[in-house]
Amino acid sequence: MFRKILIANRGEIAVRVIRALREMGIGAVAVYSDADRTSLHVRMADEAEHVGPAPSGESYLRIDRILDAARKHGAEAIHPGYGFLSENAEFAAACEDAGLVFIGPSAASIRAMGSKTEARQNAVSAGTPVVPGTDHGVNLEEARAFGRSHGYPILLKAVAGGGGKGMRSVLREAELEPAFRNAASEAERAFRSPEIYVEKLIERPRHIEVQLLGDRQGNMVHLGERECSIQRRHQKVVEESPSPLVALHPEMRQAMGEAAIRVARAAGYYNAGTVEFLVDQERRFYFLEMNTRLQVEHPVTELVTGLDLVKLQIEIAAGARLPFAQEQIAWRGSAIECRIYAEDPYNDFLPSPGKITRLHRPLGPGIRLDGCVYAGWTVPLEYDPLLAKLAVWGGTREEATARMLRALREYDIGGIRTNLGFFRQILEDEEFRAGRLHTGFIEGFFARHRPPVPPPGLAAVAALAAALDHMTSAAPPPPVSSGARPWLAAGREELLR
Amino acid sequence: MKLQLTINGAEDEIEILAPAPACQFRWGGAERAASVEMAEPGVYSILLEGHSYDARVERTARALVVVIDGYRFEIDVRDPRRWSHKGRGRAGEGVETLVAPMPGKVVRVLVAPGDVVEAGQGILVVEAMKMQNELKASRAGRVAAVHASEGATVAAGEALATIG
């Protein structure tokens, strides 16, 4: 086993890895940029090395500086976390060249899954369904033939494209000809190529992914699914396991699990990885992509399986065999995770960095909190504003939902805006309760949802608090002490005027 | 003492008759009693008519923010005996000071001192967490001063430009 590991990351995931290392008795080396000198991962680590200025391109993404830090501190392996260099094949190869173990899959697997077309080919050859499409440019007649054989709606996309340019959804054949012409001319203008390919449009899809774990000896298991359909700006915000859909149709878990393993095996995959699927309304699933790293939402899988994915990643990287077979994996209860961000959900999710003035964390049964926040810490402007992942476990989905609502109510982060209140509204939403999820859930939620109205009577309490606070505003901030009430004295003075 | 309040945009009034902890106050025409203790800095534990509330109070650049049970109240408190609060921040008259709504970095300054600007015209672009936000003038006028330069890091509430 390793004696010392460097974590090439920051924020909550660096803290998560440090916790695993400490439990394993392995030394933890943190790296940090100018913006992170007082961040929690630096404070919690055994050793820390500065790797550059705040912009990640000059610090956390600098392969040379990360490797220098590992050598200087005598680390034997590097955990990349997620994001930054975690899916960078060049980095994985550079680690191995430097005699350091990269805690993840091989550079070749990362490369194979990093290319959309190669990953799709892999899936097709592994017999895993992909969203039906032509994969190459077509003319109008070929597009018509595709629509007839696969059924409408279909999606027209620019071969050279991206960002929605040259993209058209076509609901019926009558709309095809004008849509095709528009898409082609838009593609021509945007990318100087009018080439269009066709894909089946999956309406109201669910995003369901399968967690995989494989060792370097060729053993591989799946740890079940996570449903991550609730997304804003294509980023997941609520994740759960089991998926409410799979809970109703348990045979899906095995079918998706086996399909995911086939895709990963085709790429010679080992260590932890996740295969993402789109699931349509008829419960057919289609390969989307494979993430060749630990996922942000891994805690929900850990809660229902009782496994520690980070420790298993490290053991596998050290050469250990998987300590269990597929049939030994059991799932128990229900887990939900909310990603707590410094942002204002009622103002177009505008980021809200700043200093955390107050912090009260939820505690008690079934709560897990993975965060990087402390009172007095200033959320840096330079990075993703993820503050913490609040995860709960319950015997049933209903219990987990009630527990999450209870935890959200206890959670208080002062000084910045967060999406804590937004999650309370989502978890009380009828569609969420019924498990009717799809990737357009948040748009639909905003369309049917009205901002919460405080119960009558609460305004009186707020007014009283504001009035009393106002009367003390001239006085310096009161010290924490049960006996002393400087604001009270100030209030008395006011009353005497 | 009587205080005038604007709570989430609505006008109201409260009169504090006896101070905390055994607080007496008049609200909505009725006299009421509450037990009030500051349990933690900025957090008031309030017992009112048998119910328990934690009111979390924060001072922002614009107003007091009180959060109870996740419900947010933006409250402007005015003492009617003090004239200094009256008429501040009204659009369309006097001097407008543009302040940073959140901490960030000034990526572009779109005007120079002396420029004549229209209401709604962009004055500066502030970036926070990879998102750019254009700050606009709420009234027409002449730019009296620009207090921040491109590349500067600014705090929430910091004055960025003055329009006279």
> Amino acid identity of A193?
S
**C-beta atoms of B40 and A452 within 8 A:** no
Q: Poorest-confidence range of A275-284, A306-315, A447-456?
A: A447-456
Please compute the mean of the pLDDT values over residues A317-329 and round it to a whole number.
98
**C-beta atoms of B43 and A350 within 8 A:** no
pLDDT at res. B131: 66
CB of A332 within 8 Å of any CB in chain B?
A: no
CB of A285 within 8 Å of any CB in chain B?
A: no
**C-beta atoms of B64 and A470 within 8 A:** yes
Sheet bearing A101-102, strands edge to edge: A47-52, A27-33, A4-7, A77-79, A101-102
Where would I find the beta strands (DSSP E) of A14-130?
Answer: 27-33, 47-52, 77-79, 101-102
Mutate which: A412, A422, A469, vs B, most B CBs within 10 A: A469
Point out the catalytic residue in the list A232, A293, A403, A417: A293
Please compute the mean of the pLDDT values over residues A84-99 and round it to a whole number.
97
| pLDDT above 70: percentage of residues in chain A | 94
What's the CATH code, domain A206-448? 3.30.470.20
**C-beta atoms of B41 and A353 within 8 A:** no
**Shortest Cα–Cα distance, B38 to chain A (Å):** 8
**C-beta atoms of A354 and B42 within 8 A:** no
Average pLDDT, chain A: 92
Distance, CA of A84 to chain centre:
14
Q: Please state whether A414 falls in left (phi above 0), alpha (psi between -120 and 50) or beta.
A: beta
Out of A350, A351, A463, whose CB is closest to B12? A463
- Give exposure, A53-75, as e/b (b: 16+ Cβ within 10 Å): eeebeebbbbbebbbebbeebeb
Mutate which: A359, A390, A426, A468, vs B, most B CBs within 10 A: A468
Out of B57, B69, B153, whose CB is closest to A409? B69
CB of A347 within 8 Å of any CB in chain B?
A: no
User: Where residue A163 falls among pLDDT bands split at 50, 70, 90?
Assistant: low
What's the CATH code, domain A140-200? 3.30.1490.20
Which residues from chain A sit within 8 angstroms of residue B131, using beta carbons?
350-351
Tens of pLDDT, residue by residue over B38-49, are 998 889 999 999
What CATH topology corresponds to A4-103?
A: Rossmann fold (3.40.50)
pLDDT at res. A117: 77
Q: Poorest-confidence range of A162-171, A365-374, B51-60, B73-82?
A: A162-171
Start-end ranges of CATH 3.30.1490.20 in chain A? 140-200
Mutate which: A470, A471, A473, vs B, most B CBs within 10 A: A470
Give CA–CA dist A103/A315, Å, rounded: 9
Question: Residues 385-424, chain A: which have Cβ within 8 Å of B?
Answer: 385, 408-409, 412, 414-415, 420-421, 424
pLDDT at res. A145: 95
pLDDT at res. A162: 65
Tens of pLDDT, residue by residue over B74-86, are 999 998 876 544 4
Which residues from chain A sit within 8 angstroms of residue B75, using beta carbons?
462-463, 466
Tens of pLDDT, residue by residue over A442-497, are 999 999 887 778 888 899 999 999 999 988 864 444 444 444 444 444 444 444 43
Q: Poorest-confidence range of A34-38, A103-107, A157-161, A321-325?
A: A157-161
**C-beta atoms of A466 and B66 within 8 A:** yes
Which residues from chain A sit within 8 angstroms of residue B16, using beta carbons?
467-468, 471, 491, 494-495
Residues 6+ apart with CB under 8 A from B65: B57, B58, B59, B72, B73, B74, B75
Between A166 and A473, residue with greater pLDDT? A166
Tens of pLDDT, residue by residue over B1-55, are 899 999 999 999 999 999 989 999 999 999 999 999 999 888 999 999 999 999 9
Which residues from chain B sit within 8 angstroms of residue A460, using beta carbons?
27-28, 32, 48
Query: Is A397 labeled as catalytic in the residue annotation?
Result: no
pLDDT at res. B156: 73
Please compute the mean of the pLDDT values over residues B64-79 and round it to a whole number.
91
φ, ψ of residue B15 in degrees (nearest 5): -125, 125
pLDDT at res. B81: 77
Q: Which two tokens stand for residue B37?
A: 């203790």
**C-beta atoms of B14 and A485 within 8 A:** no
In the block, tokens 């295969």 appear at A275
Give CA–CA dist A381/B127, Å, rounded: 9
User: Where residue A22 falls among pLDDT bands split at 50, 70, 90?
Assistant: very high
B89, pLDDT greater than 60: no
User: Where residue A190 falls among pLDDT bands split at 50, 70, 90?
Assistant: confident
Average pLDDT, chain B: 85
Q: Are A16 and A30 in contact (CB under 8 A)?
A: no
Residues 6+ apart with CB under 8 A from A49: A29, A30, A31, A32, A69, A72, A73
Start-end ranges of CATH 3.40.50.20 in chain A? 4-103
A44, pLDDT greater than 70: yes
CB of A467 within 8 Å of any CB in chain B?
A: yes
Q: What is the DSSP string of A100-142?
A: -EESSS-HHHHHHHHSHHHHHHHHHHTT--B--B-SS-B-HHH
pLDDT at res. B94: 61
**C-beta atoms of B43 and A358 within 8 A:** yes
Please compute the mean of the pLDDT values over residues A410-428 and round it to a whole number.
93
**C-beta atoms of B40 and A454 within 8 A:** no
Give CA–CA dist A20/A193, Å, rounded: 50
CB of A11 within 8 Å of any CB in chain B?
A: no
pLDDT at res. A489: 41
Q: Which two tokens stand for residue B98?
A: 């543009």
Start-end ranges of CATH 3.30.470.20 in chain A? 206-448
pTM of the model: 0.82
Tens of pLDDT, residue by residue over A194-225, are 999 899 999 999 999 999 999 999 999 999 99
Q: By CA distance, what is A408's nearest residue in B? A: B70
Where would I find the beta strands (DSSP E) of A332-411?
Answer: 334-341, 343-344, 350-351, 354-355, 358-360, 367-371, 378-379, 386-394
Mutate which: B129, B134, B135, B154, vs A, most A CBs within 10 A: B129
Q: By CA distance, what is A378's nearest residue in B? A: B103
Q: Poorest-confidence range of A142-146, A397-401, B134-138?
A: B134-138
Complex-level ipTM: 0.74
Domains of chain B: 2-78 (3.30.700.30), 96-163 (2.40.50.100)
pLDDT at res. A130: 94
